[in-house]
């Protein structure tokens, strides 16, 4: 099958990592995969490492009709059977190009772009008329799509982000038995306004007051990094918090931490949280994320209300004071059962096979 995936993420992110992993696994299974992404993006730099063909296009606007002929040429020159669109900037232009050239269209929703008013009506046209199938990366996103746009249940397939379990090793019993002098709690995230990291930093004094022997890592970079560093100084906690910047050695970092926190108030399905769980490191997440359907509260992690630093602090304290090693084992088991890269890519293949048949039946749920 010849597949083209469209993505407009400028930096490396969980969504970019999903495309990287899916593309590599699909190529191993004999598919021809081509990625259309922004010039200079993280994907444009890294995909050649695994011999995935890349075309760089900047649509500039999600309604730039002048880019449609170029996209049609790309689809025809690469003999594409089906496209997957992962970013709003490509939703309209790529779906129109695919329909005009008789290609099948999959639209992937990574985050909950909930709409109201005229935007809601316009997006209903996109989902209903220009898309053959929608992939939701969490059950929460599927529920919201059905609620917001009155879409049929079989129009939307939930396919989780996949984790390469070989990259993330669960700690051994012997490692757990080593007595620790201090705990380490980490946030691994883009440092942008919508990620809840400011809420987490505001929770740190409350956590440190209750548990003296805990240090904090903030892994990642982004538009508000300097603002967050200033906040740690203002709260007089800068000696307890280490900003690492962008890191690619996430498995190694996870091997040194006790728990991670995913403070984003709205998130489809956090790849960094899944990687943490795959490493046997339990997560404190908000109920506003897709993780609320995955983590069993107080068993395989902790769930707290979004945008509430007091509740977030309480969740971190509760998890650290519990048998969090056992919670980490339960978290790893969940990832093995639901998020194995091989299993989710097989579901992706079945979906593509279904929509490219002359007539579809028994849709993949």
Q: What is the CATH number of the domain that holds 123?
A: 3.40.50.2000
Q: What is the mean pLDDT of residues 163-187?
A: 75
The token pair that represents 58 in the structure block: 């900047």
Q: What is the span of the domain harbouring residue 317? A: 165-338
Q: Per the domain annotation, does 115 fall within a domain?
A: yes
Tell me: do 20 and 155 sit in the same domain: yes
Structural domains in the chain (count): 2
Characterize 65-86 residue by residue with b for buried, 16 or more Cβ atoms within 10 angstroms of its Cβ, and e for exposed: eebbeebbebbeebebbbbbbb
Q: Per the domain annotation, does 361 fall within a domain?
A: no
Distance CA 10, CA 44 (A): 9
Tell me: do 85 and 216 sit in the same domain: no
Tell me: do 23 and 148 sit in the same domain: yes
Q: Is the pLDDT of residue 173 over 60?
A: no
pLDDT band at 115 (very low <50, low <70, confident <90, very high): confident
Tell me: do 156 and 72 sit in the same domain: yes
Tell me: do 89 and 204 sit in the same domain: no
Tell me: do 177 and 92 sit in the same domain: no
Burial of 130 (0-12, 13-18, 19+ CB in 10 A): middle
Report the Cα–Cα distance between both ends of the chain, in Å, rounded.
21
Q: Per the domain annotation, does 208 fall within a domain?
A: yes
Q: Is the pLDDT of residue 176 over 80?
A: no
Q: Per the domain annotation, does 138 fall within a domain?
A: yes
Tell me: do 201 and 99 sit in the same domain: no
Tell me: do 19 and 135 sit in the same domain: yes
Total-model pTM:
0.87
Q: Per the domain annotation, does 346 fall within a domain?
A: yes
For the chain, percent helix, then strand, then coil, each to nearest 5?
Answer: 45, 20, 35
Q: Per the domain annotation, does 360 fall within a domain?
A: no
Tell me: do 89 and 36 sit in the same domain: yes
In degrees rounded to 5, what are phi and psi of residue 89? Answer: -60, -25
Tell me: do 273 and 178 sit in the same domain: yes
Mean pLDDT of the chain: 92
pLDDT band at 171 (very low <50, low <70, confident <90, very high): low
Q: Per the domain annotation, does 364 fall within a domain?
A: no
Smallest CA-to-CA distance from 197 within 36, 312, 356 is with: 312
Tell me: do 15 and 113 sit in the same domain: yes
């Amino acid at each position: 099958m010849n597949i083209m995936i469209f993505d407009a993420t400028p930096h490396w992110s969980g969504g970019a990592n999903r495309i990287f992993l899916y593309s590599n696994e699909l190529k191993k299974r004999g598919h021809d995969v081509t990625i259309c992404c922004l010039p200079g993006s993280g994907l444009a730099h890294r995909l050649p490492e695994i011999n995935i063909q890349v075309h760089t296009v900047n649509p500039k606007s999600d309604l730039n009709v002048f880019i449609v002929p170029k996209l049609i040429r790309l689809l025809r020159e690469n003999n594409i059977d089906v496209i997957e669109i992962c970013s709003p900037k490509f939703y309209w232009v790529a779906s129109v190009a695919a329909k005009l050239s008789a290609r099948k269209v999959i639209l992937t929703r990574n985050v909950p772009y909930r709409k109201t008013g005229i935007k809601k009506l316009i997006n209903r046209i996109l989902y209903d008329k220009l898309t053959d199938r929608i992939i939701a990366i969490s059950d929460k996103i599927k529920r919201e799509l059905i609620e917001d746009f009155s879409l049929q249940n079989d129009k939307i397939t939930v396919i989780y982000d996949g984790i390469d379990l070989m990259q993330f090793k669960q700690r051994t019993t012997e490692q757990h038995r080593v007595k620790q002098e201090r705990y380490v709690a980490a946030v691994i995230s883009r440092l942008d306004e919508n990620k809840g990291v400011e809420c987490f930093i505001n929770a740190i004094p409350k956590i440190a007051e209750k548990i003296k022997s805990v240090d904090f890592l903030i892994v990642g970079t982004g538009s508000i990094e300097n603002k967050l560093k200033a906040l740690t100084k203002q709260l007089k906690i800068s000696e307890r918090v280490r900003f690492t910047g962008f890191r690619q050695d996430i498995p190694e970092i996870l091997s040194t931490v006790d728990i991670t926190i995913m403070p984003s108030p709205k998130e489809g399905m956090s790849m960094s949280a899944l990687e943490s769980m795959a490493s046997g490191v339990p997560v404190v997440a908000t109920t506003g994320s897709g993780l609320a359907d995955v983590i069993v509260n107080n068993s395989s992690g902790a769930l707290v209300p979004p945008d509430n630093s007091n509740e977030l602090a309480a969740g971190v304290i509760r998890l650290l004071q519990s048998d969090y090693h056992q919670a980490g084992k339960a978290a790893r088991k969940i990832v093995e059962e639901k998020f194995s890269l091989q299993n989710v890519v097989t579901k992706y293949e079945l979906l593509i096979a279904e929509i490219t048949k002359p007539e579809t039946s028994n849709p993949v749920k």
